[in-house]
Structure 1
Amino acid sequence: MDSFQRTPSDDSPGTLRSSSHFGITPQSQVWSSPPDLDVPKSDDGNVKKRGRKGHTKSRTGCFNCKRARIKCKENRPSCDYCAHRDLKCEWPEIQINQAGTMIRKPTPASSISTNPQTQLPVFTIQDFRLFNHFIQSAYPSHPIGNDSVWRHEVPSISPDYDFLLHAMLALSAADIAAKEDEPEMKVTAMTHRVKSIESLNKAIDDGIKTYVQGNAMLATCFALLFHSVFITDGLGEYMSFIRGTVAIGMKMGQGRMKFLFEKAFGDEQMEFIGPALKLAPLVHTDVSRAACRSLEKFGFLCEKGYELTLYGTLLSMARNLVTSSQDAYMELRKYYGMFMFLSQEDFVHFINPENGVGKLIQAHFVSMQLIMTPITNSERAHRQLVNPDQKYDDPSRSNPTIGWLLSLHSNIPAEMMEYFQWTLWVEQEVHKGRLYTGVYE
């Protein structure tokens, strides 16, 4: 990705301004006042009241007007909105076949834009169900405080980027499979996931050309990241997509591109979650002290620099759990930041299934997150308070990341078994439903 092109904003012909790389907000639109009009009057000189003029909502407007959420004049070859801003004006052409499937006709060659995705795939009635489920309840909870973006802005740009649309459908199908008795949805989810990753890789190779495309890539990484939670051996991919969100975010920041997500990076997220953490309960002392003892037992096994760094942060997190849930949460954030910026060589070594120390660190990382569920539940409760009309799932009795422990606990070498005793205990307690409340019953 050597260079970036920025899509002009509505109030600027060429550039976007920002206060920082990762805190960019769109400029407010400024509309000029309309000219004076001849107002009809009655014989006595009073202004006649006119009823509101009705209109038929257009569903065939151009893509740019749809994104701007304004009524398109639909004059060809370029509508007023696009002509005024020197934008490429394109319209969707839709037909329904006998099977009830929506097909978007390819754009004529004479009007093909520089966007490589000029032809979109075919989607079925089931896909529409998944799309709706995503918008209603299956969208990612991060970046924190961006529920409206996930429910409105992201779906509105998804038809133009099949990697994003497939990622949304994958996460939605996985969510349905986990909550309802529809095991076939797991296959559907993986099918969409593979298509999304293939398309995303091609787009990354071509580089980020517009801020809309960059945001679509960013949303895709978040959706695939959250889908990884539902995959038993998906921890490695989970960490990979976290690294992907950072890489794309940095590229967008370097290009001064506008972010759809607010406060997506850095400490800005704490502005939202900070008040909730102050009220977060302490994890039961027996559980947190057991975590400390387990971590202290295997520190000497860490030899590589990155192993010592990750291990030290986990140990600090466990010790903080004894006295402060907020401090422990901050250490958890620090841990994420560390593996985000591991060198590619160290990261590949860390997630290698043959790396016993790597598996041990990962097992303790997952176990720490599981015993910290009462703390992260405070985050969910705060989201509910901010968005009272939205129904959020209660994770207190189910957490798909337990599957990661099952995977990490498979084929433990005999000489390493003693160091996995606490994480194996966590797995058992979670299956019994005894840890999600944070109380060792």
Structure 2
Amino acid sequence: ITIVRRRPIPRKGHRKSRAGCIVCKKRKVKCDESLPQCGQCLRLGLSCQYTIAPANLSQVVGEPREVVQRQIHTSAPTFGIDDLKFFQNFLFHAYPPLPIEGWDVWQQVGQMSHGYVFLAHSMLGLGASHLAVLSGADYEQAALRHRVTAMTALNEHMRKTKYSKADADAAFAAMLNLTFQAAYMADGLTDFLTLVRGCSQSREGFVVGNTLLPKFEDSAFKTFARASYVEKVRKLIGSSGEAESLDAAVAEEFCNSLKRLAPICRSVPELQYLAMMQRIANFAVTNPAESYHEHSFLYERLGELSMEDFSSFMNPQNYASRLIIMHMLTLDFVMSRKDVQDGSRLGSSEAYQKGFDCRKNMSVAWISQMLSELPEEYQVYAEWIQRFSQGLTFSFDSDDEIWKPFLLHHGKANLPSSQYHGSMQQVES
């Protein structure tokens, strides 16, 4: 018997490129080796670097036809028709409505977006979320995709040690966009308050802070300073021709509801928030302009909390803080008066007003969600806020001026008994 040995079957060869960029190697993802920046790094806004120099020019550029094809697909982010719609919506309607009279600033920011990936995607994300709430269209996935891309690229940008004026303005604008986008998301409450805290951790005197803007007076956002904001509000209130103050009965019930929370508060910051909101409500009855001034500090207080206090405040099982947040959102709703809107050429438009409307609509949804999660033993502390929030059933009909029931018009209260049948009953403190 003759034994014939089989020859070993040769392994099928394959070509494994070692010319990928450093970033893709570290991330252990496939690099498309595009030059001067690979598609992965371009998409995420990362700094692309190569370690192996090509042996000849053809390795860099390839054949002319290959260069054209590669540039078409990887030289810039690809945007679709919906993205153009989101961008237009941002520029004209969805840009952050506070501080007021910011339209000109946001037009400047729009011109910067081509140079900053994170800024462009933050604008598209906010435009998409705003449009989804306003129209009911299914843009949530697109909004989330732009949000994730913007946050990833912004985090990379903020690792820089030095910023030009444009770098700082772009980063600050993106932070504001991401903050207001969270205010239009059903699950965005935690993101909203966390981002507000990030914007607020700054030197005193600014409505939204200036962490990245050490020379705020040179920034495109210099008109966003608190003093400027309050002065604009005073002028708007003074030119409205009406004395519109919060109805004293509503303010009293709101303050009584806050007082009931004091015994269950677990920290000094929580008690300080109760006192701050009582001041705002009381001033809303007697001095609306001063009330808006006090209100401008409401969210900035989050930036002054230690990490431990902030974590406790945001804990979903801290039901005292949940109740405080419900009162904050309710106060925001009432303070977002129809008169306080942009004084620019687009400021008085119906679309601009809906920038406030979208946020108020989501505030009602957040309050409703938190009420449903309260344990039975805490329901007693939510009686007034629950009754009051039920009267905030929202509509985007421009003729449905739901803010009117809370205000005095020339000394005459407009508080329908059918809407607040139990509102005149005192809540024991």
Tell me if 1:143 matches 2:99: yes
Change in 2 beyond 3 A, CA 1:208/1:242: farther
C-alpha contact 1:239 1:340 (8 A) present in aligned 2: no
1:268 to 222, 228, 235: 228
Change in 2 beyond 3 A, CA 1:302/1:103: farther
Change in 2 beyond 3 A, CA 1:329/1:388: closer
Secondary structure class of the residue paired with 1:409: helix
* Counterpart Cα distance in 1 of 2:236 and 2:216: 32
> 300-309 or 355-364, which moves further after superposition?
300-309
Q: Describe the superposition over 1:366-397 as per-residue Cα deviations: whole angstroms up to 9, x where unpaired.
A: 111223333xx2211x5257856895235569
Q: Describe the superposition over 1:171-201 as per-residue Cα deviations: whole angstroms up to 9, x where unpaired.
A: 111121122241x212211121121112212
Change in 2 beyond 3 A, CA 1:404/1:416: same
Change in 2 beyond 3 A, CA 1:385/1:285: farther
C-alpha contact 2:168 2:212 (8 A) present in aligned 1: yes
* Counterpart Cα distance in 2 of 1:256 and 1:366: 29
Residue 414 of structure 1 aligns with which residue? 376
> 1:420 Cα shift?
0.9
Tell me if 1:240 matches 2:194: yes
- Listed as ranges, the matches of 1:117-156 within 5 Å are 120-151=76-107, 153-156=108-111
> 1:353 Cα shift?
0.9
Residue 318 of structure 2 aligns with which residue? 355
Residue 324 of structure 1 aligns with which residue? 287
Secondary structure class of the residue paired with 1:272: helix
Secondary structure class of the residue paired with 1:126: helix
* Counterpart Cα distance in 2 of 1:202 and 1:422: 45
C-alpha contact 2:94 2:352 (8 A) present in aligned 1: no
> 1:253 Cα shift?
4.0
* Counterpart Cα distance in 2 of 1:275 and 1:221: 28
* Counterpart Cα distance in 1 of 2:167 and 2:289: 36
> 1:247 Cα shift?
4.3
> 1:256 Cα shift?
6.8
Tell me if 1:277 matches 2:237: yes
> 1:140 Cα shift?
1.2
Give the TM-score taking structure 1 as reference length.
0.67
Give the TM-score taking structure 2 as reference length.
0.69
Change in 2 beyond 3 A, CA 1:145/1:208: farther
Tell me if 1:194 matches 2:161: no
* Counterpart Cα distance in 1 of 2:79 and 2:113: 13
Aligned pairs, number: 327
> 1:411 Cα shift?
1.3
Dislocated runs of 4+, deviation >6 Å: none
1:167 to 122, 128, 137: 122
CA RMSD of aligned residues (A): 3.0
Residue 169 of structure 2 aligns with which residue? 215
> 1:320 Cα shift?
2.4
1:369 to 303, 312, 332: 332
C-alpha contact 1:232 1:407 (8 A) present in aligned 2: no
Q: Describe the superposition over 1:199-254 as per-residue Cα deviations: whole angstroms up to 9, x where unpaired.
A: 21222223452211111111111111111111123222222222333447544443
C-alpha contact 1:166 1:192 (8 A) present in aligned 2: yes
Change in 2 beyond 3 A, CA 1:223/1:104: farther
* Counterpart Cα distance in 2 of 1:344 and 1:335: 18
* Counterpart Cα distance in 2 of 1:416 and 1:322: 29
